[in-house]
Structure 1
Amino acid sequence: MDDRGPSASDLLAFVRRTAADAGLIASLPLDPEGRTWIRLDGPGGSEAWLIGWPPGTGTGWHDHGGSRGAFAAAAGELTEQSLAVRLPTEGWKTLELAEDVDRERRLSDGRGRAFGPHHVHEVFNASPSAHAVSVHAYYPPLPLMRRYSRSGAVLRLEEIERPEEWA
């Protein structure tokens, strides 16, 4: 784990403060079909993003490649489903999850959450009609993202994305 750079608490303070910037939030172009984003300057060399979420859109299950992070809702409401378990990062393709590892939270009105380097989750806008906007920050900047599929208790590693694929 990289102990240099901003802590998860520092990142959470940044995303909450940024989510309260009404001018910045209003500057994000919203698309009715897909997510939109603007890259921001995060604190202490972190990677940060302002993201717009049309109704019904989400990330799917993923992790952040060992980076710690935080995110906060700036407009609308987001739902986060996460796993309260540390998964191995290498050497597996399919895992069966225990029954008590699922967590769910809803974030709106500047509320946010920080997470450590082994966090696996999915985030989505469950609203049928309203956009959501959120601010995200990661340190160190994302080296990769692992994407997963989930069927009941079975989590399967589907792909590993690298930053050059996100341009």
Structure 2
Amino acid sequence: MSPRSLQRTSRTVSVSQPVSTPVTAASARTEASPPTAAELLDFVRRSAADKDLIASLPLDPEGRTWVRLEGPGGSEAWLIAWPPGTGTGWHDHAESFGAFATAAGELKEYSLAARLPASGWKTLELNEGVDRERQLGAGQSRSFGKHHVHEVLNESAAEHAVSVHAYYPPLPLIRRFSRSGAVLRLEQVERPEDWQ
């Protein structure tokens, strides 16, 4: 099976280890205010640099493993291990914005520089020039806005990758897509109960 055809073949790991957050001006704000994109990016960077946290995640040679983390300001956060050749498939995060950082190994992200309609479609033909590609090695990170469509892959043939992800608001759903050339097709809508 190719990395691009892999979907959620992972299993949940029953390890829970919140990241300790130093008190800063940003973390001292009221609990009622949501986190900003900059705060999510700071959180995933600090978490990815926490060697004890990264070492606590069991690595499975066959499927992705993950642990839910305590994100800032009520955000949803995950520590994820990616065996060689695994990936997410094309998906979005609905109305959530977020950030992710690579803690170990290297991840490749393919994304679309186009905002998709929130609903009412099953198939879209993409315009030329909307494809983006980036490598995120250990210590590299990125943030993204609402309706960000991407797929993330560990293309290594031999090395696990580990990353930290945070989203706000907590993911209401994930839409999964298939892609053939310029045609993007909505295949499935997952709700939180499908992955928690």
Under a length normalisation based on structure 2, what TM-score does the superposition of the two structures give? 0.83
Query: Identity over aligned residues, as a percent?
Result: 75
Q: Which residue is equivalent to 2:117? A: 88
Name the structure with the higher strand share. Answer: 1
Q: Which residue is equivalent to 2:171? A: 142
Q: Which residue is equivalent to 2:181? A: 152
Distance between the aligned counterparts of 1:163 and 1:53, measured in 2? Answer: 21
The root-mean-square deviation of aligned C-alpha atoms, in Å, is 0.7
Q: How does 1:17-36 map to 2 (within 5 A)?
A: 17-36=46-65
Consecutive aligned runs of 4 or more in structure 1 exceeding 2 Å deviation: none
Distance between the aligned counterparts of 2:132 and 2:194, measured in 1? Answer: 29
Q: Which residue is equivalent to 1:132? A: 161
Distance between the aligned counterparts of 2:53 and 2:84, measured in 1? Answer: 21
Secondary structure of 1:38 counterpart: strand
Matched to 1:46, the amino acid is: S
Under a length normalisation based on structure 1, what TM-score does the superposition of the two structures give? 0.97
Distance between the aligned counterparts of 1:9 and 1:156, measured in 2? Answer: 32
Secondary structure of 2:146 counterpart: coil
Task: In structure 1, list runs of 5 or more residues that go unmatched.
Answer: none
Distance between the aligned counterparts of 2:168 and 2:80, measured in 1? Answer: 17
Bigger Rg, which one: 2
Task: In structure 2, list runs of 5 or more residues that go unmatched.
Answer: 1-32
Offset of residue 42 of structure 1: 0.2
Higher relative contact order (CA 8 A, sep 6+): 1
Offset of residue 134 of structure 1: 0.1
Distance between the aligned counterparts of 1:118 and 1:12, measured in 2? Answer: 17
Matched to 1:121, the amino acid is: H
